[in-house]
């Protein structure tokens, strides 16, 4: 904690994440089904949605780049709410806090 990340290492992780998201968008979510394994939601949808939430804490929102992921995420959230949002309270607080820090840093420039 407190160390700056190695830019090469971060770029490598980001590249692998993008590759996975590209596959998720084009292979899993472009088959014409509402959810990952068909038209019925499963725990796989919930698990995947929770994983896709995580990079938002670092400022990367997959739903902004991937329309299939965005639509699918909305369906997953709608199905599991209010529990989905309740389970992501801390994640959303971290995201909000990071966004506020970025705004403050930009205003100082």
Whether 44 and 79 have beta carbons less than 8 Å apart is answered as no
Per the prediction, the chain carries an average pLDDT of 92
Nearest to 75 by CA among 35, 47, 18, 15: 35
Whether 31 maps to a domain, the answer reads yes
Query: Is the whole model's pTM more than 0.95, yes or no?
Result: no
Q: Rounded to 10 degrees, what is the CA torsion of 42, 45, 46, 47?
A: 110
Within a domain: residue 1? no
Half-sphere exposure of 75 (CA within 13 A, CB side): 18
How many domains is the chain partitioned into structurally? 1
Residues in the chain, pLDDT under 50: none
Cα atoms in the 13 Å half-sphere on the side-chain side of 95: 13
CATH number where 97 lies: 1.20.1050.10
- Contact criterion met (CB below 8 Å) for 60 and 13: no
Residue 1 has what pLDDT? Answer: 59
């Amino acid at each position: 904690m407190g160390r700056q990340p190695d830019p090469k290492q971060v770029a490598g992780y980001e590249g692998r994440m993008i590759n996975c998201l590209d596959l998720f968008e084009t292979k899993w979510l472009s088959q014409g089904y509402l959810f990952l394994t068909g038209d019925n939601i499963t725990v796989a949808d919930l698990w995947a949605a929770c994983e896709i939430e995580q990079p938002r804490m670092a400022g990367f929102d997959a739903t902004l780049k991937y329309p299939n992921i965005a639509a699918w995420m909305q369906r997953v959230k709608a199905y599991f709410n209010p529990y989905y949002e309740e389970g992501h309270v801390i994640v959303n607080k971290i995201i909000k806090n990071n966004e506020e820090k970025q705004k403050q840093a930009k205003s100082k420039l």
